[in-house]
Structure 1
Amino acid sequence: MAENTHVVVIGGGYAGVMAANRLTQRNDVTVTLINPRATFVHRVRLHQLVGGTHGAVVDYREILAEGVRTVVDTVARIDAAGRSVTLASGGTVGYDYLVYAVGSGSADRRVPGADEFAYPIATLEEAKRLRPVLDSAPTTAAVTVVGAGPSGIETAAELAEQGRTVTLVCGGVLGPYLHTRGRRSVARRLAALGVTVLDGSDATVTAVTHDAVRLADGRELPSQVTIWTAGFAVPDLAARSGLSTDALGRLLTDETLTSVDDDRIVAAGDSAAPSGLALRMSCQAAMPLGARAADTLLSLIAGEQPETLNQSFGAQCLSLGRRTGIFQFGNRSDVAVWFHIDGRLGAQMKEAVCKGIVKHLSDEAHKPGGYSLHRMKGGAGRRKALEAKRSEAPAPARRAA
């Protein structure tokens, strides 16, 4: 009888679910998915949860292959030498191979008062905590959204469309990824919704109180509800487990997504740093990385050489309320280009993407191996970055003591 291989996947987000589903291609591979929640969080809809237009969760029965065993718990430590993980509940789970897909959450809010008075929304629990606060605040209450990436822009638009008084504090440029033309389109839509946009270096938050936000130029903005969307951070599980990470704590891997420390561990999603050149934290990167990580393990199990990362990007899409959006096209190296689609069609395209994400995961659950977007030819940008990195003296990996 053929020997069975047990793979543990840590994290049930976009990357983890894609990897778990894809690994079920082989009958001699068993998969255990460990996740702190019993439901899948559709993170690209968390701004809708805040706005009360979507629950932002999906039942795992809709997107996870039947053969995948689920454990609702948090991994406290990885014992790479012993090939096991310790759970927060006190138990242990052994593995033959491990997929590290712990995702990301809110960045450390070092601004005075931010931890106490601002509401992050990077996780389901955070968004749910904010929802009743908004419900209890009058429509006329001043709402300040800090951070002008996708989460900040979408949250500001969602709330303004409901008639709320919203100020978006960028701390820099509005929509850093966007092309100049796309940025102008977003600015026009936010203005039409009544959002006050404060950008530039002076529009950096230096302090948050229970009823105000203070900026670098000394201005103090009334703010009954302050929402924090400035940046993401990854869990420190890899570092705590003695594995090599980059400066942000993402697991360092080679271009096959295999850990530089242990060829039994692969990483995918926001918590992976292939060759120290991590991709943009996004669902658009996470699902292909999950598929690539699974393919790497399947190759290793079969005694074959895994293929290297060949990530391709195409766009960034934003909803600007329920009726308008923007689909900002980019090249394969993830650089925005001049062309975009906005207005109602932009909103329809964003909604199609949100639904398509769930469909990709569901399709892979029912027909593992069918997903193929990770095989699309990537842009030249990564190849050039890798060549430049290899020409430099190698920097030592950060590793936990």
Structure 2
Amino acid sequence: MTENTDVVVVGAGYAGVLAANRLTRRDDVTVTLINPRPIFVNRVRLHQLVAGSHEAVVDLAEILSDRVRLVVDTATRIEVAERTVTTTDSGRVGYDYLVYAVGSRGADPDVPGAAEFAYPMATWEDARRLRPVIESASPTAAVTVVGAGATGIEVAAELAEQGRRVNLVCGRVLGPYLHPRVRRSVAERLSALGVVILEGPDAQVTAVTSESVRLSGGHSLSSAVTIWTAGFGVPDLAARSGLSTDAIGRLRTDETLTSVDDPRVVAAGDSAAPSDMPLRMSCQTARPLGAHAADTVLARIAGTRPAVIEVGSFGQCIGLGRHAARVQLASRDDIANRFSLGGRLAARIKERACVKVVEELADEARDPGSFTWAFEDRKRQRLLDDATARAARAKAAH
């Protein structure tokens, strides 16, 4: 008689849902998914939730395999020695293997007044709190968006397209990931929508009040609503559980996504830090990392050696309102180049991408193992080789 293996997945984001569905490839594996809500949050649509053009959620029952048991609860601690996950309401859930996929959230701002007066929007709960604030604000009131990564750009464009007065405070530069040529195209679109872009050394936020945002250049912006999109952080579950983490709390793993502390704990998505070189936080990398985490667990169950991660990239797709977008193309090692797509074609690509990420999760539920992804990150392998060489030289010197 084949012994059953219990696998617990913590977190039902892109990585967690894909991992849970993929684990059902084996009939002798029982999968439990722990998540604090019964819905899947399509985070690439959170800017649309804030602007009131989309709800950004899907019922988990629609995209989960019927072989995955969903526990709607919050994981509070992982007891590695006992192989249990403690939750708020359900007590302890035992596991043989655990997939740690708790995702990411906004970084805690250290600017005076930001925590009190600025609204984050990195999570579904954040975006839901912000939406009625935006709706109740006067149409002529100034809205300030702090942070000019993809999220900041997208919410600024959505609100400006609705006729809102929007300031986008970039700090150093608009769209740090973008190639300079593509950055200019994005800036032109934002300006055409009426967004005031502030970047450079004088555009660092030094304080936030209920009515203004103060900048390092010495002047203040009137701001009825301040939206904070700068930076990413992760939940502290791993650190609270005594597992090794990097500087911002991501679980430290090897290149198979296995925890450096315990071979029965595997990480995926934004909360993983393989070889202390985490990939860019995005749904683009979370999905293949979720699939790889599942494959690592299945390999260990089968008694075979897990493969190392090979996750490529196509670039970044940024929505610029409901009728435009900019697709920044990149090499597979995630270096942005001068090529991009724009306008309505890019907007259709962006919308299709938002739909497709959900479809892929449902497809994996119906046909576990069907999800595939781009391979070959040559830059990562070079960095790993360099790190190995440095470690060998340091060891020889001692």
Question: TM above 0.5, one fold?
Answer: yes
SS in 2 for 1:244: coil
Aligned to 2:361: 361
After superposition, the C-alpha distances for 1:313-355 in whole angstroms (9 at most, x for unaligned) are: 1120011000000111000000101110001111111111111
2:2 maps to what in 1?
2
Q: Which amino acid aligns with 2:164?
A: R
Question: Structure 1: how far apart are the matches of 2:86 and 2:274?
Answer: 25
- 2:60 maps to 60
Q: 1:223-271 CA deviation, whole Å, 9 max, x = no partner?
A: 0000000011001111111111111110010000000110000000000
SS at match of 2:226: strand
Aligned residue number for residue 391 of structure 1: 389
Structure 2 CA distance for aligned equivalents of residues 3 and 328 of structure 1: 48
Partners of 2:248 and 2:386 lie apart in 1 by 21
2:11 corresponds to 1:11: yes
Q: Which blocks of at least 5 consecutive residues in structure 2 are unaligned?
A: 393-398
Q: Secondary structure at the match of 2:34?
A: strand
Distance (whole Å) between structure 2 residues aligned to residue 244 and residue 379 of structure 1? 25
Q: For residue 341 of structure 1, what is the amino acid of its counterpart? A: L
Native 8 Å contact 2:73 2:90 kept in 1: no
Partner of 1:329: 329
> Deviations 1:79-109 (Å, cap 9, x if unpaired)?
0000001112260000000000000111011
Q: d(CA) in 2 for partners of 1:359 and 1:334?
A: 24
Query: Counterparts of 2:57 and 2:245 in 1: how far apart (Å)?
Result: 30
Question: Separation in 1 of the partners of 2:238 and 2:268?
Answer: 13
Q: Secondary structure at the match of 1:154?
A: helix
Q: What is the aligned partner in structure 2 of residue 399 from structure 1?
A: none
Query: Is the contact made by 2:41 and 2:58 (CA closer than 8 Å) also made in structure 1?
Result: yes
Q: Distance in 2 between matches of 1:121 and 1:391?
A: 41
Residue matched to 2:29: 29
Residue 298 of structure 2 corresponds to which residue in structure 1?
Answer: 298
TM-score by length of 1: 0.97
Work out whether residues 313 and 331 of structure 1, in 8 Å CA contact, stay in contact via their aligned partners in 2: yes
Q: Which residue type is aligned with residue 167 of structure 2?
A: T
Counterpart check, 1:286 vs 2:286: yes
The AA in structure 1 aligned to 2:77 is R
CA distance in 1, matches of 2:378, 2:346: 28
Q: What corresponds to 2:275 in structure 1?
A: 275
* Separation of aligned partners in 1, 2:365 and 2:335: 31
- Please point out which of 376, 379, 398 is paired with 2:377: 379
Deviation at 1:13, TM superposition (A): 0.2
List per-residue Cα deviations over 1:257-295 (Å, max 9, x = no partner). Answer: 000110000000000000110000000000000000000
Q: 1:206 matched to which residue of 2? A: 206
Equivalent runs, 1:130-141 vs 2, <5 Å: 130-141=130-141
CA-CA distance at 1:62 after TM superposition? 1.8
For residues 153-196 of structure 1, what are the alpha-carbon distances to aligned partners after superposition, in whole Å with 9 as ceiling and x for unaligned? Answer: 00000000000000000011100111111101100000000000
Counting only pairs closer than 5 Å after superposition, residues 82-93 of structure 1 correspond to structure 2 as 82-89=82-89, 91-93=91-93
**Is the contact between residue 10 and residue 99 of structure 2 (CA under 8 Å) also seen in structure 1?**
yes
Amino acid at match of 2:176: P
Is 1:315 the equivalent of 2:279?
Answer: no
Could you list the structure 1 runs, at least 4 aligned residues long, displaced by more than 2 angstroms after superposition.
Answer: 391-394
Q: Distance in 2 between matches of 1:237 and 1:202?
A: 37
Question: Which residue of 1 is the match for residue 244 of structure 2?
Answer: 244
Q: Is the 8 A contact 1:324 1:343 kept in 2?
A: yes
Count of matched residue pairs: 392
Q: Give the whole-Å Cα distance in 1 for the aligned partners of 2:243 and 2:218.
A: 43
Alpha carbons 1:323, 1:343 under 8 Å: kept: yes
Offset of 1:391 from its aligned partner?
A: 2.5
* Alpha-carbon distance in 1 for matches of 2:173, 2:382: 26
Matched residues in 2 for 1:275 and 1:197: separation?
37
The answer to whether the 8 A contact 1:18-1:290 is kept is yes
Q: Deviations over 1:54-96 (max 9, x none)?
A: 0000111221111100011111110000000111226000000
Flag structure 1 segments of 5+ consecutive residues without an equivalent. Answer: 395-401
TM-score by length of 2: 0.97
Give the distance between the partners of 1:251 and 1:70, measured in 2 at CA.
23
Match of 1:253 in 2: 253
Amino acid at match of 2:241: S
Q: CA deviation at 1:6?
A: 0.4
Deviation at 1:393, TM superposition (A): 4.0
Note if contact 2:170-2:197 (Cα within 8 Å) is conserved in structure 1. yes
Q: CA deviation at 1:44?
A: 0.4
Question: Per the alignment, do residues 90 and 365 of structure 1 end up closer, same or farther by CA in structure 2, a change over 3 Å counting?
Answer: closer
Please name the residue that 2:395 is paired with: none
AA partner of residue 59 (structure 2)? D
Which amino acid in the other structure matches residue 273 of structure 2? A
Question: For 1:174-219, what per-residue CA distance to the aligned partner results, in whole angstroms no more than 9, with x for missing partners?
Answer: 0011111110110000000000000112101010000000001111
Q: Aligned partners of 2:30, 2:202: CA distance in 1, in Å?
A: 54
Cα distance in 1 for partners of 2:323, 2:90 equals 48
1:313/1:378 contact within 8 Å kept: no
Q: Secondary structure at the match of 1:170?
A: strand
Cα contact 2:327–2:340 (8 A) shared by 1: yes
Is the Cα–Cα contact under 8 Å of residues 256 and 306 in structure 1 kept in the other structure? yes
What is the RMSD of the two structures over their aligned residues, measured on CA atoms? Answer: 0.9
> SS state of the match for residue 24, structure 1?
helix
Report the counterpart of residue 51 of structure 1 in structure 2: 51
